[in-house]
């Protein structure tokens, strides 16, 4: 899998887009929640996390939803939450890794947000998530292969983000500052 050659790349902020929010998409372990929290603080925006919204709505953890109800039920929750996001303003939205992995979700996010994909290679992702146990999709005999498989499936969708930011050699603060800069640029030039 190729990494973007530039650290950030404006791909498609079409004219007249309504951009009220920032939506962070990208694979598990790319830092969406940490970057999102800091970017929200820097912008003086509210921060929301789609996984947390789902957990509140379901009354149980993402892990338990996968375990007790299955992935398809979790994806239904995601779609429902995405519809609720449409009315948000001045909000940084961190999404679960699967959200940016399909066309309909991307279209929905682009209706109100600048969509920023945080990027890292499979090896870096593996290094970041290998000791964590809360990710249901990685509870398999070969989690490294699962990361590769999911990244291959999702890459064409992740690449449709307005902005791609390589997180490999940047601190959370540097990535968040970059996101804030791109947001200001996008709202001035839309």
What is the binding site for ligand S3P (CB under 6 A)?
28, 32, 51, 62, 96-98, 135-137
Nearer to ligand S3P, 88 or 137 (CB): 137
Minimum CB–partner distance for residue 174 and ligand S3P (Å)? 20
Q: How is residue 22 written in tokens? A: 């920032």
How far apart (Å, rounded) are the C-alpha atoms in residues 142 and 161? 29
63 CB-contact burial (10 Å; exposed 0-12 / middle 13-18 / buried 19+): middle
Minimum CB–partner distance for residue 159 and ligand S3P (Å)? 16
Using the 8-state DSSP alphabet, how is residue 4 labeled? Answer: P
What is the number of the residue whose Cβ is closest to ligand S3P? Answer: 96
For residue 59, what is the enclosing H or E element? none
Minimum CB–partner distance for residue 33 and ligand S3P (Å)? 6
Minimum CB–partner distance for residue 28 and ligand S3P (Å)? 4
Nearer to ligand S3P, 19 or 28 (CB): 28
How far apart (Å, rounded) are the C-alpha atoms in residues 88 and 100? 18
Nearer to ligand S3P, 13 or 30 (CB): 30
Nearer to ligand S3P, 98 or 122 (CB): 98
Minimum CB–partner distance for residue 188 and ligand S3P (Å)? 30
Nearer to ligand S3P, 51 or 162 (CB): 51
How far apart (Å, rounded) are the C-alpha atoms in residues 51 and 48? 9
| 94 Cβ contact partners less than 8 Å away, ≥ 6 residues apart | 24, 32, 33, 35, 36, 37, 47, 48, 49, 50
């Amino acid at each position: 899998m190729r990494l973007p050659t530039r650290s950030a790349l404006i791909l498609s902020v079409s004219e007249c887009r309504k951009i009220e929010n920032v939506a962070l998409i990208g694979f598990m372990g790319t830092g969406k929640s940490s970057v999102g929290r800091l970017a929200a603080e820097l912008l003086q925006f509210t921060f929301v996390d789609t996984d947390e919204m789902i957990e509140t709505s379901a009354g149980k953890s993402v892990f338990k939803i996968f375990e007790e109800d299955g992935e398809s039920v979790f994806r239904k929750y995601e779609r429902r939450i995405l519809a609720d996001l449409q009315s948000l303003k001045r909000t940084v939205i961190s999404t679960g890794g699967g959200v940016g992995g399909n066309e309909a979700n991307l279209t929905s996010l682009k209706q109100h947000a600048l969509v920023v994909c945080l990027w890292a290679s499979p090896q870096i992702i593996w290094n970041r998530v290998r000791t964590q146990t809360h990710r249901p999709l990685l509870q398999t005999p070969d989690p490294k292969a699962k990361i590769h498989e999911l990244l291959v499936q999702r890459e064409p969708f992740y690449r449709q983000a307005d902005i791609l930011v390589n997180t490999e050699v940047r601190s959370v603060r540097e990535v968040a500052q970059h996101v804030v800069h791109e947001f200001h640029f996008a709202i001035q030039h839309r």
